[in-house]
Amino acid sequence: MALFQSLFGMLYQFGDTFAFLVIACAGLAVIFGMMGVINLAHGEFIMCGAYVTASLARVGVPLPMAVLAGALAAGFVGVIVERLVIRHLYHRPLDSIIATWGISLIATQGVLIFLGSTMQGVGTPLGSVDIGGRFYSIYRFVLMGAAVGLLGGLYLLFYHTRFGVIARATIQKPQMAHALGVNTGRMYGLTFGLGAALAGLAGGLYAPTMTMVPTMGATFIVESFVTVVVGGADIFVGAAPAVAILAFIKTGLTAWYGQLFGQIGLLVTVILVIRVLPGGLSGWLKGTTR
């Protein structure tokens, strides 16, 4: 029984970390992988999704609807931001880092000024379940399911829909796509919007488990970056294995040495991966399979 307990415990922790990394990084990965833009306002899109979700849930909107609305709201903001700012910076990736940092400053402080320093959250739904003498939050299992669904959904979207194919074509050969009559500007806008919406979804999904403050996005951002870098430029090939490896490293280190080493382990992994595999996991996987 004790063996089952600790085995299941490990598995649960792994799944929990896996879900967090997938959900946190999806939006950043789409924007970085598809457009080469490092979005430092990623955390603020997450905060936007969380705030909208929590506000709606507290006036009685069912949580799934509220989460969806949070994602849509963040996506909508994303489309506007792309049109006003990001669009002018595609050829200047370093400048887009600065611009998104500026957006992040404005968003965090703006929310603090207009909505106050904190907001009442929504409670975690669904209660808990007793497995082998330990209690586990059922909502955490929902998050794991959502992570797997998210990976599958993104795969289907980008490989089996017209939008996905055109989007990938646009990103790989913009001039060619343009010549073929694709409205490349709109594709970029939609892709950025999708990335922002995924960030909003992350905020919505985690809103019931976290403290609602304007800086809440910051707790996601380091982990998101780590995952994207380890995954490499092609997120569809690299993200899932990257998340699996990182979740394994983090779970292991946290379980045996505590939270600090879980954190440091992640960051050291990034540095090592970049040194050994400059193209990230996806670059390495593609290099060996071609």
Partner 1 sequence: MTDRHSSLFAKGLMAGAAMALALACPAFAQDGPIKIGVLEDQSGDFAAATMVKVHAIQLAAKEINDAGGIDGRPVELVVYDTQSDNRRFQEFMRRVLQSDKVDAVFAGFSSASREAYRPIVNQFDGLAFYNNQYEGGVCDSNMIVTGAVPEQQFSTLIPWMMEEYGPNVYTIAADYNFGQISAEWVRQIVEENGGNMVGEEFIPLGVSQFGQTIQNIQAADADFVVTLIVGAAQASYYEQAAAANVGLPMASSVNVGQGYEHKRFNPPSLANMYVTTNYIEEIDTPASKAFVEKFHGMFPDETYINQEAANSYIAMYLYKQMVERAGSTDHDAIRAVIAEGDVCFEGPSGNTCLDPQSQHMSHTIYLAKVGDDHSITFPKVWEDIKPYWLGEAGCDLTKSDPSAQYTPSSPPPAQ
Partner 2 sequence: MTETSNGTGSSQPRLAFLRRLEGPQTMGRGPLFWGAAAVAVMIAVVYPLMADAWTVGNTAYFMIWTFMAMGLGLVWGYAGALSFGQTAFFGLAGYTYGVLTLNFGAAYGLTIVALLLSVALGALFAVVIGYFMFYGRIQGVFIGIVTLSVTLVMETFMSQTAGPQWRIGEARLNGFNGMSGISPLTVPWPGGDLVLFPGPILYYVLLGLLVLCYLGLRILLNSPFGNVLVAIRENPHRVGMLGYDVRLYQMLAFAIGGGFAALSGALYTAWGQYITPSSMGLTAAALPIVWVAVGGRRDITATLIGTLAVLYGFQALTIYGSQYALVVMGALLLFTVLVAPQGLVVAGMNLVARLFRRAQR
Q: Using CB under 8 A as the criterion, which residues of the chain lie in contact with partner 2 when the complex forms?
A: 36, 38, 85, 88-89, 92-99, 101-110, 112-113, 218, 222, 225-226, 229, 260, 263-264, 267-268, 270-271, 274-275, 278
Give 120 or 289: the residue with its C-beta nearer to partner 1.
120
Give 3 or 276: the residue with its C-beta nearer to partner 2.
276
CB of residue 105 vs partner 1: minimum separation in angstroms? 10
CB of residue 31 vs partner 1: minimum separation in angstroms? 22
134 sits near partner 1 (criterion: CB under 8 A): yes
User: Among 84, 128, 159, 278, which residue interacts with partner 1 (rule: CB under 8 A)?
Assistant: 128
CA dihedral 62, 157, 168, 177 (to 10 degrees): -90
Residue 11 CB contacts under 8 Å (≥ 6 apart), including other chains: none
- 96, 38 in Cβ contact below 8 A? yes
Give the integer Cα–Cα distance in Å for 176 and 153: 27
Degrees, nearest 5: CA angle 201-204-206: 110
User: Among 127, 160, 275, 290, which residue interacts with partner 1 (rule: CB under 8 A)?
Assistant: 127
User: Among 80, 171, 174, 209, which residue interacts with partner 1 (rule: CB under 8 A)?
Assistant: 209
120 sits near partner 1 (criterion: CB under 8 A): yes
User: Among 20, 32, 158, 236, which residue interacts with partner 1 (rule: CB under 8 A)?
Assistant: 20
Give the integer Cα–Cα distance in Å for 53 and 64: 9
User: Among 80, 89, 112, 169, which residue interacts with partner 1 (rule: CB under 8 A)?
Assistant: 112
Stretch binding partner 1 (CB under 8 A), from 149-157, 209-217, 230-238, 272-280: 209-217
* CB burial of residue 191 (10 Å; 0-12, 13-18, 19+): buried
CB of residue 19 vs partner 2: minimum separation in angstroms? 23
Q: Which residue has the tokens 């982990």?
A: 223
Neighbours of 219 (CB within 10 A): 15
Give the integer Cα–Cα distance in Å for 42 and 197: 10
Give 33 or 217: the residue with its C-beta nearer to partner 1.
217
Contact partner at residue 153 from partner 1, partner 2, none, CB < 5 to 8 Å by partner kind: none
Give the integer Cα–Cα distance in Å for 102 and 64: 32
Give the residue among 194, 70, 201, 199 at the shortest CA–CA distance from 146: 201
Token code pair at residue 178: 């343009």
- 158, 164 in Cβ contact below 8 A? yes
Residue 133: phi and psi, rounded to 5, are 90, -5
241 sits near partner 1 (criterion: CB under 8 A): no
User: Among 34, 37, 67, 119, which residue interacts with partner 1 (rule: CB under 8 A)?
Assistant: 119
Q: How many CA atoms lie within 13 A of 233 on its CB side?
A: 14
254 sits near partner 1 (criterion: CB under 8 A): yes
113 sits near partner 1 (criterion: CB under 8 A): yes
Give 20 or 284: the residue with its C-beta nearer to partner 1.
20
- 264, 223 in Cβ contact below 8 A? no
Contact footprint for partner 1 (CB under 8 A): 5, 9, 12-13, 16-17, 20, 109, 112-113, 116-124, 126-128, 134-137, 139-140, 208-213, 215-216, 218-219, 251, 254-255, 258-260, 262-263
